[in-house]
Amino acid sequence: MLRVDDIHKRYGDNEVLKGISLTLERGATKVLIGPSGSGKSTLLRCINHLNKPDRGTIELDGQRITDANIDRMRAQIGFVFQDFNLFSHLTVLDNVRICQLKVKRLSHEEATRRAHEELERVGLGDKAGAYPAELSGGQQQRVSIARALAMDPMLMLFDEPTSALDPELTGEVVKVMQQLADDGMTMLVVSHEMGFARQAADEIIFMEGGYIIEQGPPDVLFSTPAQERTRAFLNVIAEHG
């Protein structure tokens, strides 16, 4: 479904991505891991064209993502950020409903039905009338996931969705993501949640310094990584886990 070919991206003198290529099959979950500054978040932003790559091509379901059709393509890609990006002046229901009304131009009734459906899916059916400030961080992140799902995306991108949460709130978000993976949602996830990566991912991709250093199934990459740098990174994660 997703094909990323030789993506390069620099900011001034800093070359963040140095020729990244990967594919993602329909219904698969891949998890990007690696130290801060390795280019993981930039890669996601390039896929969604929040940042335009300097070189390389990205295809979604056989169609090249270009400036000409970027809005239509973006509507098919759900993006969940580190910070929740909710509208503080809107209720939970309106936060989930607004993109369906403005972007997909669904009827008010259909947008409302879809919003309630996805709020139930993330376990927040009873919070439709609440405002973001009345919710915990974990609940706010689940609202942002529901908002993305309500657009009925082909692909979901998650950029460290639990990094802004207290540890005790992380589990509720990971549980929702695990369920999405089990349901066959196509997902590319940047995360340091190794438990989720082991359980949900079809493949782990280790990035450092703008390159993919190693990739493989979780049981192989976690137990017998081929690269010494991968092994060192996983040891550090294990020590702090």
Predicted confidence (pLDDT) per residue in 140-194, tens digit:
999 999 999 999 999 999 999 999 898 889 999 999 999 999 999 999 999 989 9
Q: What pLDDT does 47 receive? A: 94
Expressed in angstroms, the distance from the first to the final Cα of the chain is 33
Contact 184, 198 (CB under 8 A): no
Predicted confidence (pLDDT) per residue in 197-234, tens digit:
999 999 999 999 999 999 999 999 999 999 999 999 99
- Residue 238's pLDDT band (cuts 50, 70, 90): confident
Domain ranges of the chain: 1-76+154-214, 83-153
Q: What is the mean pLDDT of residues 119-137?
A: 97
Q: What pLDDT does 227 receive? A: 95
Question: Quick one: 1-76+154-214 is in which CATH superfamily?
Answer: P-loop containing nucleotide triphosphate hydrolases (3.40.50.300)
Higher-scoring residue by pLDDT: 65, 218: 218
Rounded CA gap, 45 and 68, in Å? 18
Res. 92: pLDDT tops 70: yes
Q: What pLDDT does 70 receive? A: 77
pTM over 0.75: yes
DSSP secondary structure letter of residue 69: G
Contact 96, 119 (CB under 8 A): yes
Q: What pLDDT does 67 receive? A: 65
- Residue 69's pLDDT band (cuts 50, 70, 90): confident
| C-alpha dist (Å) from residue 90 to 86, 113, 128, 149, 167 | 8, 17, 10, 18, 27
Q: What pLDDT does 68 receive? A: 58
Instruction: State the chain's mean pLDDT as an integer.
Output: 93
Q: What pLDDT does 104 receive? A: 86
Contact 148, 80 (CB under 8 A): yes
Backbone angles phi, psi at 68, to 5 degrees: -65, -35
Q: What pLDDT does 241 receive? A: 59
